[in-house]
Chain A
């Protein structure tokens, strides 16, 4: 890009073609006040605080939207501009209720900060005193229109970052207010409560109920950690004060990983589920009774000693690589057992077996593209997954690709269209017929000559033998016309992407994964030199656990007399619970009650995500994030590492 030289406040500075005056100022440490500008959002020049004088322009221009060019002469702080800015501030203050003493955001407010900076000790204009509603029907968010300055940052965050566009301006002129959908209360609108608007809001107009009066930003310690929920592994900026979580934010609203979901931003702050706080031991009458941690560990030691070599271990991938490795090592070295799996290991084996059949070069999960790839895609196929529910940030990126980049969206789902407002096409195959559907799509793709690489004879044979085209619509229940429409969209795309998840993996069929991968590869579509395919893994460290080799094989049931389970809050499937019931001894380490704790002989409490020792987590697309311990575990509760260390010592290692 062309370098541009310009002069700001008599100083020679450089910028790039396409930069705004504001961007060049910021890059050169030249302060320009702003209110409606926020990194990560587009600029609209709404607030007029960043007005600068440009030589040759008749009037001041907004720095945030004025593109730089060679030889530009800019002044940012003339007397006239400073007077103008103070006047704007005064007018903003007269427009609505901007009295700080009864505003929760006082001390965390950009409008207030600007007023201090401009020494606004009085206002020369009469107030308008409008009486505007306060919308508090949403579970987490409040919109107080009285505090709003109409900068539009929430509107832009809602559409540009989150891709949902619930918020916009309603009414006109003097009466303009922020509106959710068509003037609905936020709680009854299409809002997904992700809270990006609250993070974007410069004043106290949109704020979170959960963080009210818990502490100002300046009083909090800010800790970067990894979200403990789904496998997107979002980075969180957690504000902590006096042993309490005050607020959770995205590190910034910039970039593809800027959005957070409601569960990550709010749900983690508001968890009322009963925790396991004390060790429990099943007594002679079969009831779980509280015991001290020392007693529980001693009892566990006794039992485990008898079970060496005949015990199975299952661990949740909500735990870090370090914890997973430690457990693996304990089971192998101390318990003499390699009978170990992760709770989601079955999914891993289906995916990797599917990949291995498709491409046996050991690349494994690395063949998949990153979730950033979604934003580059021009056609997205969501197959057997509901990203908006299970991986909401992937859902955000899909909506963004569709609404901002014009990507086509095809939903393949037996039950419902998971993107009802966004999809171009919904294919509804009969349950279990998905593989035939993919074969059919592949066949049509070949017939139409839309493949972009040579098909191997084996592939042709596989597709053609399995699939007579006229059979496809009968078996899948999807009309040929729809299949062809799908192929036209997907086959003609240059950067198509297939996102698949739980519902396909539940079919328990590596061949299904294989057929999906083959379809993707035949189009020649690549994103960042990877295959345009993403599998949605269940937990925050699923991939980390899988790649440590813990999930390499199924648990072998014969010769197993006991089990050691390390869980967070997961419920086990009924089959597994039945299998567990037949064992002599089960120790469960968990944070919350579940079907596993109800069949355990000994339950050891495990700290929850915020109290655990920090460690590494690998996201669904292979990015490693580091978590940090935010709070001390509850009194008397031991870290997982400490429990294992005591058991190891007791068991004579």
Chain B
């Protein structure tokens, strides 16, 4: 029964990891940007949430759209300025710039918020409430909500990218920037919008993480970026639903590892990541020809 529990918990955690990963995957898919500051930006979103709630005492649910919107604006501006400037100078420049950004954000948070852990005060018993299946399995409502949220976000992204006019424009620009530009699309603006969407998911990821556990300035790199990346690699580079499968596999591996020995939790996740890298470097969901 403990194993069934581990698998159920792992699957639910996988939703959170998919939420971490889809922004990273989207940025790479559209702009070919690997954003090394991805995790730190999620942490920033968490801190903004904590700050807003502490300052205005507004209900938690109200703060979510505000933070998502704020991060979307940050994403658009960052894409139009820093990332666009780096992109123009090449792929290695974007890496160096986003790595620099990551270190600046992390140390900035350390400077202003200290190294202490902080939780996102939801002020509701939904965080602690749970229901039980059988006698031994306890499932937290919060984990279920985050899992559902991840699926809603992925469905939304899927619908937006394939069925709306602007989503198709984003894909057109991602496929062939010059051709799209010849047809009258301003690719920089399109990139900005794509970044805004990606940062919106990043904001949700950061807040969800702040609700399930606590965040500290180093959470972004220690946890969010690395888990997001592991999920992306396991699921397959550039595949949206792959991030969910990758996230679930990572989550299940971690929970099974933790079941063996609590200190194996993270290591087990990385071992699966390495195994996928060895056996199927193109990921589990993509076909070989696409990689």
Partners in one complex: no
Q: Which A residues fall within an 8 A CB radius of B?
A: none
B residues with a Cβ closer than 8 A to A are none
